[in-house]
Structure formats: structure tokens, C-alpha cells
Amino acid sequence: MADPFKSLAATLENRFSGIAAKSLSGVPSELGTITGSGVKLDSFKYEIPDYYVAEWVTELELPAFSLIGTMVAPVDEAGNPIGGGTPSQQTRFDFNETKIGEVRLNWSAGIKPGDRVLAVPVNGGKDAVIVCKVVSSNG
């Protein structure tokens, strides 16, 4: 059976690429690098110390999928077994197709110094809005 998470990741990547392409058509964007104290755009000789990060709120659509795992019961709120609970036999968990609204993608949590980003210079180049992290197609 195909990995449902790979399918989900590919679907999200395709959708966000399309959204980004539509929203950025005609907007002058460029590559930059996150530094320890800001962002350095490739075509601008000065580092921009304070930058903005685009916030994406979307609806997440999960296809129907199954996972195989074990269960332990009972557990406390943190998921720790209570009273020496033991794992069950391998069990298949089936999930129905579902939609989850108001999913927020926190880009800034995944950006660190050295990362390449796509940025839109604003306010005459004084500020920049980071649209997304950019990675090589080679992995």
C-alpha cells in the first residue's frame, strides 16, 4: 500500500506551489539567505535585520488512509501507560477522508541561519517578506 503521508505531502506541495505562483505573479521576488540577525537578499548588499514572514492559513484535506500500529491502554493525558499497560497486537487503524479548517503553517519555526528563502522586498527595500523556504530538488 502506498504511504498516505507521501501522497499528502505531494498534494500539499503542489497546491501551495500553485497558490504561491498565482499570488506572486508580477511581484518582484528574489532569493535570499537567513543570517543570524536578519535576511540578506542576493541583489542587495545590506542585511535586512527585521523581516516579515508570510502567514498561510489553509484548509487541510486528508484522504482516507490506514495505518498499522499498536495500542496501549489505559494512558494518562500525556500518553504514558497507567498501571503497566501493555501494547496490543498489531492493529490497523482506518481513517476517513476529512477536512480540517483554519490550519496555520508556521514558516518562521522552520527557518534558521543559512537557509535559502524566497523574499519580496517592500518599503523601498527597507523590509522584506519571506514567502517560503527554498530547497534544492536534489534533496
Domain assignment of residue 33, yes or no = yes
Given a contact cutoff of 8 angstroms between Cβ atoms, the answer to whether 20 and 131 are in contact is yes
Domain assignment of residue 139, yes or no = no
Given a contact cutoff of 8 angstroms between Cβ atoms, the answer to whether 48 and 131 are in contact is no
Domain assignment of residue 122, yes or no = yes
Element spanning 5, H or E: helix 4-24
Q: Is 39 helix (H, G, I), strand (E, B) or coil?
A: strand
Domain assignment of residue 81, yes or no = no
Given a contact cutoff of 8 angstroms between Cβ atoms, the answer to whether 93 and 69 are in contact is yes
pLDDT reported for residue 4 = 64
Domain assignment of residue 28, yes or no = yes
Domain assignment of residue 100, yes or no = yes
- How confident is the prediction along the chain (139 residues), in pLDDT tens digits per residue? 556 666 666 666 666 666 655 555 556 788 999 999 999 998 888 888 889 998 888 899 999 999 999 988 888 899 888 887 778 899 999 999 999 999 888 878 888 999 999 998 888 778 889 988 888 887 5
Domain assignment of residue 15, yes or no = yes
Q: Into how many domains does the chain fold?
A: 1
d(CA 85, CA 80): 9
Q: What is the domain extent for residue 41? A: 4-69+88-134
Domain assignment of residue 83, yes or no = no
